[in-house]
Amino acid sequence: MTTALHMLRQTDHQKNNHTFLCSSSTALKSIALTGLFGSFVFLQFTVLGLANHAGEGYLTHGQRDLVYYALQVFVILGYLLHVLYSRFCVEKHIRNAVGYFVCGLFCASATWMLAAGTNSLLNVIASMTAALCVGGIGGAVHCRMSREAAAGERVARCMGFGSAAAVILQYLLQIRRGVSPLLPVFMGTAFLLLLFMLKSRSPETVAEKAESPEKTPSRRLVSSVLIASAFILFACFYNETIHHLQIQSGYTAANVYSWPRLMLVPGYLLFAVIGDRKNGKYVPIVSLCIMLIALLNVILTGNSGTYWLNMCLFYFAIAAFTSYYLLTFWRLAPGTGHPVFWAPFGRMLDSAMVLLTGAIHLSELPAPVVLSVDIAGVVLVILLMAINGDFNLSAATPETLPLLTPKEALDQIRARYSLTRRETEVLRELVLTEDKQTVISERLSIQPRTLQNHVTQIYRKTGAETRAGLTELFHQCQRRI
């Protein structure tokens, strides 16, 4: 009797330890991904923020405008170079050499931008180099987040919280009272964290769980590109206008880097909350609603209160549109023929639209013309979303699809969580029967201790804490959740 009680207490103790380890592992994974993306966004914001001052006191207003658009070109080139790097750098030593070179180049250019003045040609060159490296490093980050999305991770939560933290940190260190002396320290820390996270990959959650992704229909890809383009177009008019004003006023009368930038935070947090619900089904509709609000940004008046209100709406819309194209292309990319290209496509599209609107001088067009273009964009987005079924929240959701057979559900769980054949057999007995483990061990012709080891591994890999949790996981898989 005493021995049985001792074994029961030991089993409960092991189970409690296992529950704690599983929850801790899941939390650490989520924190790591949030840190990965947040570090990149912080570096991107701070470096491009510094680069926007390139040539100040050295170049004319018109030349600085050209530098701004040139930065967008170099960002796009950086992403495209990462695509080529991923495709043609097969040898590991070559990949490592290229990676170390890009990292070294980024550190050197960022250090020059922080240490030297803006009134020189070298500062302009350093800014272009940093923008190129931001694109290259960003390509690796976006691809990682896309693979995590294919593996079933909650990337919206990581994207939202990471971006919000990056905005707050940048505001405190670079915007609120000028460039803080602590900025280089935080940039160096973020860079090291970024490198560590990119170098270490979790095989359970990236490679094995992302097997055979569902093929992305070309129609869906095209419609997503058009919707994202319309969203970005909404922001470009105001962004271009403020950019011209801030250069002319020397970042005093108008400055896109000011306190309304903090409105990015609630925007990102909103999508962190809704972005993973029903596999992102709410993201397009919420983005459309914010797009309608963003129509107010078309008309700039001389009233100071209206100006700052428009700035707040502008940044809230920026967070929404950015969240839309990031989450959309992260989820679509694994099913395409070129996932390395499509994973960061939203960010490349953003820079491309800035170049397009700059070429047609969008901010110089009469307000009624811009308003007409925006209304046409709203109509286009509504039509595309209707065709995609985005307004029907129950369409193409797991609840409306036929249930998977038990074998199909078990096969999916096995692939998703990298279960062995024997672990899958044990899982089948646990979720399809109510038999005790002694009965299951006899049926499978294995020792009770061996069975317990298999059960422990199943709990560890799936994150379930109880047999009821495994059963719920099985039913969710049957319902395609």
Task: Give the DSSP H/E element, type plus range, for residue 155.
Answer: helix 155-170
On whether the CB atoms of residues 460 and 418 are closer than 8 A, the answer is no
Q: Region 111-140: what's the mean pLDDT?
A: 90
The residue among 357 and 169 whose pLDDT is bigger is 169
Average pLDDT, the chain: 82
For the chain, domain boundaries:
27-200+218-399, 401-478
Q: Is the dihedral of CA 135, 344, 382, 291 positive or negative?
A: negative
Task: Report the SS3 class of residue 418.
Answer: coil
Could you tell me which residues are beta bridge partners of residue 176?
178
On whether the CB atoms of residues 37 and 174 are closer than 8 A, the answer is no
Largest Cα–Cα separation, the chain: 89
The residue among 17 and 387 whose pLDDT is bigger is 387
The residue among 436 and 236 whose pLDDT is bigger is 436
For residue range 318-344, list pLDDT tens digits in order: 999 999 999 999 999 988 888 999 999
DSSP-derived secondary structure letter, 213: P
- Using CB atoms within 10 Å of the CB of residue 232, give its burial: 0 to 12 exposed, 13 to 18 middle, 19+ buried: buried
Question: Is it the case that residue 208 has pLDDT exceeding 70?
Answer: no
Domain 27-200+218-399 CATH superfamily? MFS general substrate transporter like domains (1.20.1250.20)
The residue among 243 and 169 whose pLDDT is bigger is 169
> What span, in angstroms and rounded, lies between the C-alpha atoms of 332 and 330?
6
Please give the pLDDT value at position 204.
42
In the numeric block, which tokens belong to residue 246?
């801030």
Please give the pLDDT value at position 216.
82
Please give the pLDDT value at position 360.
80
> What span, in angstroms and rounded, lies between the C-alpha atoms of 434 and 111?
64
Q: Considering the entire predicted model, what is its pTM? A: 0.75
Q: Region 352-366: what's the mean pLDDT?
A: 81
Please give the pLDDT value at position 323.
96
> What span, in angstroms and rounded, lies between the C-alpha atoms of 223 and 460?
40
Task: Give the DSSP H/E element, type plus range, for residue 476.
Answer: helix 467-478
> What span, in angstroms and rounded, lies between the C-alpha atoms of 359 and 361?
5
Question: Is it the case that residue 364 has pLDDT exceeding 60?
Answer: yes
Nearest to 370 by CA among 225, 237, 472: 237
The residue among 442 and 246 whose pLDDT is bigger is 442
In the numeric block, which tokens belong to residue 464?
């379930």
Helices (H), 183-303: 183-199, 218-249, 264-274, 282-293
Residue 25 confidence class, pLDDT cut points 50, 70, 90: low
| Percentage with pLDDT > 90 across the chain | 33
> What span, in angstroms and rounded, lies between the C-alpha atoms of 308 and 272?
26
Task: Give the DSSP H/E element, type plus range, for residue 103.
Answer: helix 92-115
On whether the CB atoms of residues 388 and 217 are closer than 8 A, the answer is no
The angle at the Cα of 366, spanning 360 to 252, to the nearest 5 degrees, equals 85
On whether the CB atoms of residues 163 and 156 are closer than 8 A, the answer is no
Task: Report the SS3 class of residue 458.
Answer: helix
For residue range 210-264, list pLDDT tens digits in order: 445 567 888 889 999 999 999 988 877 777 666 656 666 665 555 666 788 899 9
Nearest to 160 by CA among 27, 310, 291, 34: 34
For residue range 304-315, list pLDDT tens digits in order: 667 777 788 889
Please give the pLDDT value at position 344.
95
* Fold adopted by 401-478: Arc Repressor Mutant, subunit A (1.10.10)
DSSP structure string for 34-52: HHHHHHHHHHHHHHHHHHT
On whether the CB atoms of residues 316 and 263 are closer than 8 A, the answer is yes
| Percentage with pLDDT > 70 across the chain | 83
- Using CB atoms within 10 Å of the CB of residue 390, give its burial: 0 to 12 exposed, 13 to 18 middle, 19+ buried: buried
The residue among 478 and 285 whose pLDDT is bigger is 285
433-449 burial: b if 16+ Cβ within 10 Å, else e: eeeebeebbeebebeee
Question: Is it the case that residue 8 has pLDDT exceeding 70?
Answer: no
The lowest-confidence range among 71-85, 97-111, 158-172, 208-222 is 208-222
On whether the CB atoms of residues 127 and 71 are closer than 8 A, the answer is yes
On whether the CB atoms of residues 377 and 234 are closer than 8 A, the answer is yes
* Residue 103 one-letter amino acid: C
Question: Is it the case that residue 481 has pLDDT exceeding 70?
Answer: no
Residue 5 confidence class, pLDDT cut points 50, 70, 90: very low
Could you tell me which residues are beta bridge partners of residue 178?
176
Site of tokens 């909404």: 234
DSSP-derived secondary structure letter, 58: T
On whether the CB atoms of residues 412 and 404 are closer than 8 A, the answer is yes
> What span, in angstroms and rounded, lies between the C-alpha atoms of 49 and 231?
22
Please give the pLDDT value at position 463.
84
Task: Report the SS3 class of residue 189.
Answer: helix
Residue 20 confidence class, pLDDT cut points 50, 70, 90: very low
Question: Is it the case that residue 18 has pLDDT exceeding 80?
Answer: no
The angle at the Cα of 43, spanning 39 to 46, to the nearest 5 degrees, equals 135
In the numeric block, which tokens belong to residue 82?
């990462």
